[in-house]
Amino acid sequence: MFHKPLLVLFFSFIISISWSQNHEVCFTFDDLTFVPYSHQDIGFQQMMTAKLLETLKENDIPAIGFVNETKLYQEGSLDEQRVGLLKEWLAQGFELGNHTFSHANYHQVGFEKYTQDILQGERVAKPLLEEFGRHYKYFRHPYLRIGRSKAAHDSLNLFLASHGYQEAPVTIDNEDYLFAAAYDKALASEDEGLQSKVGSAYIRYMEKKLLYYQQMSNKLFDRNIKQILLLHANALNADFLDALAEMYRQNGYTFISLEEALEDPAFNTPISKYGDWGISWLDRWALSLGKGGEFFEGDPRTPRFIRDLLK
């Protein structure tokens, strides 16, 4: 006969292993150095970047930030304090990637201008990473616009590969930027009640988004793939990152790097359906597999009061 308490212990051990293996997420932050909204002063951006990075470290989150180098310039000249924000990410052990120089939309500017913007976007960061013994090797498409056709996507991927880049997909897309703009208003009005109301609504919304894409992954792959969450470098995420990390942990998640996430074979799933959209890779795979209509039902909406705050 098995010893019952030991047996229970054994099975809970197995369950906890499979639970954590199936719940992994990479946190990615776009639009570095920072999305300041009304808070343009460098002191605020330094303080918020420090808070963001400190909270990432406290929570053992191996995050990556994607840079728009246009943000390193002030009135046409390179601003050392803004370059200093990038150095902070690197000095504290975080990864950086290219997000084009000017946050260009591939669907609007076309291949030539877009690829020039990618190259212009590596002038400062690429040598900076090399100083830190790393390679500038990940690319995130602004607006998640990867090309309106297979030919446009393929030619971009060929260009990226020939310049040592790999595309950095997103599986958990969301509207954190709307909450962040609302939060900026709450900060500017020094309304602490509104700040915490926006923050709590943000975490609840992000949990619904997580569960939505987790369920989509299970429907498409019969398992929860390694997820990649899109976030932006802003004050909302600096102030509520701890709560966001806690919510992910409560849902059984551990935090992984982009390199680890991309080891998931799901990222080799072919995309055959294209359009003028910026969407999650889970959405792209679903569309490519012929899903439509009710398959996408239940996508959580940003609450009305957040949109109202932005009017």
Footprint on this chain of Zn ion (rule: CB under 5 A): 30-31, 142
CB-nearer residue toward Zn ion: 252 or 278: 278
* Cis status, amide bond into 55, omega within 30 of 0: no
| Residues 52, 238 contacting (CB under 8 angstroms) | yes
Query: For residues 98 and 115, which CB has a smaller minimum distance to Zn ion in the complex?
Result: 98
CB of 260 to Zn ion, least distance (A): 23
Which residue number is nearest to Zn ion in terms of Cβ?
30
- Is the Cβ–Cβ distance between 266 and 288 less than 8 Å? no
- Tokens, residue 32: 């570095």
Burial class (CB in 10 A: 0-12, 13-18, 19+), 180: buried
Say if residue 44 is exposed, middle or buried (CB neighbours under 10 Å; 0-12, 13-18, 19+).
Answer: middle
Kindly tell me which of 224 and 237 has the beta carbon lying closer to Zn ion.
Answer: 237
| Residue placing its CB nearer to Zn ion in the complex, 142 or 169 | 142
Q: How far is the CB of 94 from Zn ion (least distance, A)?
A: 17
Q: What's the per-residue H, E or C state across 99-153?
A: CCCCCCCHHHHHHHHHHHHHHHCCCCHHHHHHHCCCCCCEECCHHHCCCCCHHHH
**Beta carbons within 8 Å of 27's beta carbon, 6+ residues apart:** 56, 61, 63, 64, 229, 231, 255
Q: How far is the CB of 272 from Zn ion (least distance, A)?
A: 26
Least distance in angstroms from the C-beta of 78 to Zn ion: 21
| Smallest gap from residue 31 Cβ to Zn ion (A) | 4
**Shortest Å distance, C-beta 121 to Zn ion:** 12
Q: Nearer Cβ to Zn ion, position 136 or 253?
A: 136
Closer residue to Zn ion, CB minimum distance, 31 or 176: 31
